[in-house]
Structures are given as C-alpha cells and as structure tokens.
Amino acid sequence: MKKERGLLVVLSSPSGGGKTTVIKKILEEGHPDYVYSISMTTRPIRPGEVDGKDYLFVTDEEFKKHIQAGDLTEYEKVHGWYYGTPKIKINEWLAQNKVVFLDIDVHGALRIKRQFGERAFLIFLKPPDEQALVDRLLNRSTETKEQIRKRLARVPEEMKMIDKFDAVIINDKLDDAVQQVKKLVQNKMSKN
C-alpha cells in the first residue's frame, strides 16, 4: 500500500509578516508537487489582485452559504472580513500527495492542525520587530490608516500563539526566510 505523502504547509503571521510573499517566491520556482490553496474572503479586492488567483472574492451572503454547506475546512472573521479555506481542493491535493501551501491566520492554522494532525505543518513567520510590520503595511498602500490600526491591534494576540506552531522563522530578509521555509518542508517530507 502506498504511503500518503501529501502535506499542508500553513504559513501564519501578523499582517505584513510576509506569508503571501514567501509562498509566491517558493511557487515561482515551479516545483511540480507544490500548490497554493486560494482562500475565500469577503474583503474588497485590492488594486492589482485577481479574483480566483489571489483570493476567491465573495459577498458576506455567499460566504455564509459556504459555511452552512460545510464547504470550508476552516474560516475566521479577521479585521472585519471573513476568510476561509475551501475544502474540496485541499482533499483532492492531499490525495495526489501534493505539498499544499496555505496563507492563513493563527486561529485558522490551529484548526487545520486539529483536523489534519501530522499532515499539517505550521510555520509562524515572525517579524523582526513591530516597526517592520508598520513599514510593510504602509509601503503596500492597500489599507487605510484605520485598517492598519486594526491589523496592528491584533499583533499581540497573534504573537501569543507562536508556541503552538511547529516552526518559527524570523522574516527579516526575504530570501533567507524563503530558503528556511523550503528547507523545513523538505525535511518534513523526507520524514513522511
């Protein structure tokens, strides 16, 4: 009997921690077994984002229908918007022994771990300091000052969860963080 080798690699961090950027860099290398789980959200689309590529953008009503139908592996209301992970692709990719990258908040990450156990590997991307988060949020120019304030207010709650993760990487230099994530994934896969 063939051993299941699929893995869910969950990257979590406070807003501006670099989880999306790290995953994009890894996927750009084109590894055939690496895929990205696109989250569903009710937040407005940002300039440059593409529906179905960056997120699945839906209304509150549509999101709630997906909750009722049991279509989501996990979901959370964060910063006033719903975010969730569609279930169907996750199960399909695991059955194909893919390494599935997820970019989700700390609470969603812990739900994934409870559901999938050892098939879920949680990595927390820790910012070098709070000022780095502020700078990153300001530099991406996608949120208002009030939205940035909301995101930063959540940082202490997120940082308290750090010890519940399988690994912690300080995301000070992007290339170093990318290499560390890749190495952790390779090590985990070699043990499966």
Q: Contact at 8 Å (CB) between 127 and 17?
A: yes
Judge whether 106 lies within some domain.
Answer: yes
Judge whether 1 lies within some domain.
Answer: no
pLDDT digits 0-9 by tens, 69-91: 999 999 999 888 999 999 989 99
Confidence of residue 1 (pLDDT cuts 50, 70, 90): very low
The residue segments making up the domain with residue 181 are: 7-191
pLDDT digits 0-9 by tens, 42-69: 999 988 899 999 999 999 999 999 999 9
pLDDT digits 0-9 by tens, 159-189: 899 999 999 999 989 999 999 999 999 999 8
pTM score: 0.88
Packing angle between helix 174-191 and helix 19-28, nearest 10 degrees?
A: 70
Confidence of residue 148 (pLDDT cuts 50, 70, 90): confident
Percent of the chain with pLDDT over 90: 67
CATH of residue 111: 3.40.50.300
Q: Contact at 8 Å (CB) between 3 and 147?
A: no
Report the SS3 class of residue 24: helix
Q: Contact at 8 Å (CB) between 84 and 66?
A: yes
Please state the domain count of the chain.
Answer: 1
Judge whether 40 lies within some domain.
Answer: yes
Judge whether 80 lies within some domain.
Answer: yes
